[in-house]
Chain A
């Protein structure tokens, strides 16, 4: 599989992150666009873990603090994410409840789990199955932005529902924490380098082939 095909790093070649041109990494900068050349994203696992841990820490206040506060005729109600889902579910709006559940709870949680898994695999603590994990990485990067939907809903409601004494909506501290989770997980996914998984696999294959040689 990966043994028969040539890999760029083994020849000292790097594909530019910005423009895609393949040049010797010894040039330092891409001759076409001037970006820095790297064989792998610098400090990939450490940066990814740092962003991911910060996101995981913010995930807790994001779910327990209110996303927004509604004042209706003097009565104050605080809305958390889970509260919103329950509200829609009880009201019979199942599709919208499922959309919020997916975008606000499942996607951030799955992102945190999948990024941790990717980091463990890339640092050799779990088996790197690059074909499967690569697809997981691609999916993680693709889905990340959709969690932002709850922040947008808060913004829209705050702008629309300003009815003086009758009813007002103000953003809560949970919204800021939740926005932090989304942005931090996006940065975490961007700093991860999926090529590290293939590097691990190559090392494993090399190890097993040298073991076989010493056996015979």
Chain B
């Protein structure tokens, strides 16, 4: 693995996004974080094996997302009828039952955003492993920042648990393979997003561009 490269020029600075204190940015050893001298917020940190981690965890998340979309989350047996829930059916039901806005929001937060995040991270980071830059990677990386807060898979998982408890008295409800796969997607996504520091990703992009 190549260490975190320094872009040409310098001296390099880092500004605390909480309090605007200016720091001179110095290279860090792996696993070390730089904190603001004024307010203590993390400025940047050097994650160990960052690119390899992001690449592998986002591949794992993408593969698991196929499992999630093919297998049911929950199966419910009541009144002789079996209904199943998968990721898209929640959104589809909301649209069909007269709440199209909520249906679209649910699909955006639980299907589109995680897919775009994992795909985008893979697209940007995998070529960087070989010191290359994918076409349009700068634009993809810009969008990654903006989509990150709207990735709500862990919230959806909590929603599945709450619904399970709500329905428990009415019917037989069982977890399907989709549920466990979604739990794994959540862990992989968290690991992929936390795998690389924003400053490191952009320094690497800047160096690879030249």
Please give the residue numbers on chain A whose beta carbons come within 8 Å of chain B beta carbons, in ascending order.
Answer: 1-2, 5-9, 11, 13-15, 18-22, 32-35, 84, 88, 91, 93, 96, 99-100, 103, 130-131, 134, 137-138, 141, 144-146, 148-164, 166-167, 170-171, 175-176, 179, 183, 186, 190, 194-195, 198-199
Contact = CB atoms under 8 A, between A and B. Distances in A.
A166 B155 contact: no
Contacts, number: 200
Contact of A13 (B15, B138, B165): B15
Contacts of A6: 21-22
A185 B20 CA distance: 24
Given A8-B20, A32-B202, A175-B99, A162 B39 contact: no
Interface string B90-105: 1111100111011101
B98 to A, nearest CB: 7
B132 interface: no
A163 B78 contact: yes
Given A20-B199, A159-B89, A146 B15 contact: no
A13 B13 CA distance: 10
Question: How big is the B interface, by class?
Answer: 35 or more
Contact of A159 (B37, B85, B98, B165): B85
Contacts of B169: 91
Given A34-B142, A152-B158, A171-B102, 11 more contacts: A2-B21, A15-B17, A19-B142, A33-B202, A91-B169, A152-B106, A152-B155, A162-B83, A171-B98, A195-B19, A198-B20
A21 B199 CA distance: 8
B103 A155 contact: yes
Contact of B166 (A2, A137, A153): A153
6 contacts: A2-B21, A96-B165, A150-B159, A152-B156, A159-B92, A161-B167
